[in-house]
Amino acid sequence: MTEVATRTRDVLKLADEAAPLVDTFGRTISYLRLSVTDRCDLRCTYCMPERMTFLPKRDVLSLEELYALATGFIARGVTKIRITGGEPLVRRDIVDLFTALGRHLDGGGLQELTLTTNATQLAGHAVALYKAGVRRVNISLDTLDRAMFERLTRRDALPQVLQGIAAAKDAGLRVKLNAVALKGVNEDELPDLIAWAHEEGHDATLIEVMPLGDVEEERLDQYLPLNDVRARLEDRWTLTDNAHQSGGPARYVDVAETGGRLGFITPHTSNFCDGCNRLRVTATGQLYPCLGGGERVDLRSALRSDDPQGQLAAALDKTMLIKPERHHFRMDERGAAPHLPRHMSMTGG
């Protein structure tokens, strides 16, 4: 019997509705990123084109279905759920989903419920999110310069975003600011952005741009390798590796001069797939076991079948068999088609 077949048999032995999710490379899945909409009120140039085609609303799962899906994952050992999008806070009544899922915290199997947001609507939701059990939020912010923000997101929304960040802090939410490092765009501003985040008491994380979806701009022109950024930061600051784990792919350093923590998400310059504990589900219930792969399992039909629990368990078992070992993003060919046609706004981050 081949090694893969042996591993497959071992995984299948585990297949029941409460068995933990372990893939054929022995990685245990404990983290679900659940997209609740692909829609967004911004149009970040690295994420989507101005004229984006969104999914028909009828294809999107209801909040009840999203809740049922999430609880199915909790039953299989998922302890951390990140609600994402698109922009999750543009979905009507989304706080109801947080409130329902929050009941699984405190001994109900879920250890952390969190979200990734662009913060445009956060000021109006921060207190309710805290009440629902959210304690940490990831906020995407690539620049503190209003004109640059408008150029990057194609919307003049920086004041709202800053209000949202302040409201999160006031509500008691711990904030991590995520910035995509973009060549010739926010490249020179990154140290100031990090210093500001640390001054405000927030962690900061830098991300390498990934070739997902057609975005009008040339990907290679956007791409800034983070090992170059780190070298430049080290000319200015003392960075010391830190073993902190946030449950995601970031590797952290402490910045002695600011007293803050800085993460690097480096799909290109340093692969992080060995420890991958994540699955992603889109707002239409498509499960992607790898952000950088085309493998997909349809959970919506499982959910809408006569035996949702059994079908969902079977779909998750199948996913464990097809989760690839690693992604194979390439960022070295000018004019190349996107590595994958789907945009990051489908699967969230």
Find where tokens 């589900």 sit: 281
Sign of CA dihedral 329, 85, 316, 16: positive
Q: What angle do CA 273, 25, 76 make, to 5 degrees?
A: 95
Pairing of strands 239-242, 251-255: antiparallel
Sign of CA dihedral 117, 146, 187, 191: negative
Judged by CB under 6 A, does residue 40 bind ligand SAM?
yes
Q: Does 11 bind ligand SAM (CB under 6 A)?
A: no
Residue 329 found at the interface with ligand SAM (CB under 6 A) = no
- 206 - beta bridge partners? 179, 264
Q: Which does 43 bind (CB under 5 to 8 A by kind): ligand SAM, ligand SF4, none?
A: ligand SF4
Binder of ligand SF4 out of 72, 86, 248, 289 (CB under 6 A): 86
Binding of residue 186 to ligand SF4 (CB under 6 A): no
CA–CA distance, 314 with 298 (Å, rounded to integer): 11
Site string for ligand SAM, 129-158 (x = CB under 6 A): -----------x------------------
What DSSP character marks residue 165? H
Least gap, CB of 271 to ligand SAM (angstroms): 15
Dist CA 224 CA 338 (whole Å): 17
Using CB under 6 A as the binding rule, whether residue 40 contacts ligand SF4 is answered as yes
Q: How far apart are CA 29 and CA 20, in angstroms?
A: 8
116 binds ligand SAM (CB under 6 A): yes
Q: With binding defined as CB under 6 A, does residue 88 bind ligand SF4?
A: no
Q: Give the one residue of 7, 27, 33, 43 binding ligand SF4; rule: CB under 6 A.
A: 43
Is residue 140 close enough to count as binding ligand SF4 by CB under 6 A?
yes
Instruction: Tell whether residue 87 is a contact of ligand SF4 (CB under 6 A).
Output: yes
Among residues 38, 20, 17, 40, the alpha carbon closest in space to that of 30 is found at 20
User: Phi first, then psi: what are they for 77, rounded to 5°?
Assistant: 100, 5
Residue range at the interface with ligand SAM (CB under 6 A); choices 2-10, 164-172, 202-210, 282-290: 202-210
**What part of residues 76-95 is at the interface with ligand SAM (CB under 6 A)?**
84-87
Give the Cα separation of 63 and 348 in Å (integer). 17
User: What is the closest distance, in whole angstroms, from the C-beta atom of residue 26 to ligand SAM in the complex?
Assistant: 28
Q: Which residues bind ligand SF4 (CB under 6 A)?
A: 40, 42-44, 47-48, 85-87, 118, 140, 345
Q: Which residues bind ligand SAM (CB under 6 A)?
A: 40, 46-47, 84-87, 116-118, 140, 178, 180, 207, 209-210, 212, 344-345, 348-349
